[in-house]
Amino acid sequence: MSKKEIKNRLMQVLISEKRFDSQKIDRVLENDLYKVIKNYMDVDREDIRTNLVLEDDGCYVLRCKVRAKRIKIFGVL
């Protein structure tokens, strides 16, 4: 095996160890985000969708979609 092949194999092993139950994490993220976002927007719990993905380089990407009925108006900050 070449040095490059060994490095790639090691990267795959490390990435596979970072795998997780993405549906469970998504539910927890959606719940936590709802608690924060509801202070600023008029949203229902089911209006928040997340997607957490583990990329080939071992980094996570979080995508979040929120459908808000309105933004709450605040005074001058």
Cα four-point dihedral sign 14, 57, 33, 43: negative
**Alpha-carbon separation of residue 21 from 28, 55, 60, 61, 73 (angstroms):** 11, 15, 13, 15, 37
pLDDT of residue 15: 62
Output the pTM of the full model.
0.65
* Contact in structure between 52 and 62 (CB atoms under 8 Å): yes
Block means of pLDDT (10 residues each) for the chain, 77 residues, are: 77 63 81 93 93 82 93 77
- Listed in sequence order, the DSSP H helices in the chain are 3-17, 22-37
